[in-house]
Amino acid sequence: MQKIHNHKDFENIKKEFEEAKEYESSDCPWAKFIPIHKEISRGRCPICEQKLDEIGERHTGSSIDHFRPKKNEANGKQSQDAYAFLECEESNYILMCKGCNDGYKKSFFPLDTDFVATKLSELNDEKPLLINVREE
């Protein structure tokens, strides 16, 4: 899967996203990135590789959500809102099927160490036990 940052429309969509964040008072306009995510993943969930938005043996509707959850389930290392600072950060969004998002990932973000980032510049110092398919 190619990196989303290499997509020909990424910079334009990111600019629209950043501008919309300033004017929209509700949720972040993350849905703007869905077409790019679907294109680079070839319409498949990057976690389980099932085709997105199909109804079959298992419903695979697509869901774009936070890689690091804005509200984290307590795991002894992080506070519940450890990643609230990433709520509207484009680089923290990932597209996956609803089954993987709701059934597996949920609001958990396990780490291998006790260090928990509290700002964007510290994210590379964390040791997550989940793979960010946008980057790796």
pLDDT at 91: 86
Question: Which percentage of the chain shows pLDDT scores above 70?
Answer: 85
Higher pLDDT, 59 or 28: 28
**Residues 47-106: tens digit of each pLDDT:** 888 888 776 665 567 888 888 887 766 555 556 677 888 888 888 888 888 888 888 778
pLDDT at 70: 78
> Residue 128: how many CB atoms within 10 A of its CB?
15
Mean pLDDT, the chain, integer: 81
Cα distance between residue 3 and residue 82, in whole Å: 26
Encoded tokens for 48: 């389980």
pLDDT at 117 over 80: yes
pLDDT at 104: 79
pLDDT at 118 over 80: yes
Question: Which percentage of the chain shows pLDDT scores above 90?
Answer: 4
- Please list, in sequence order, all residues whose beta carbon lies within 8 angstroms of the beta carbon of residue 61, skipping any fewer than 6 positions away: 52, 53, 97, 98
pLDDT at 33 over 70: yes
In sequence order, what are the beta bridge partners of 96? 63
Alpha helices by DSSP H, listed for 32-102, are 34-40, 98
> Which 3 state secondary structure label does DSSP give 60?
coil
pLDDT at 56: 62
Alpha helices by DSSP H, listed for the chain, are 10-23, 34-40, 98
The pTM of this model reads 0.76
Cα distance between residue 76 and residue 129, in whole Å: 15
Pairing of strands 93-97, 62-66: antiparallel
First to last CA, the chain: 9
Encoded tokens for 47: 């976690």
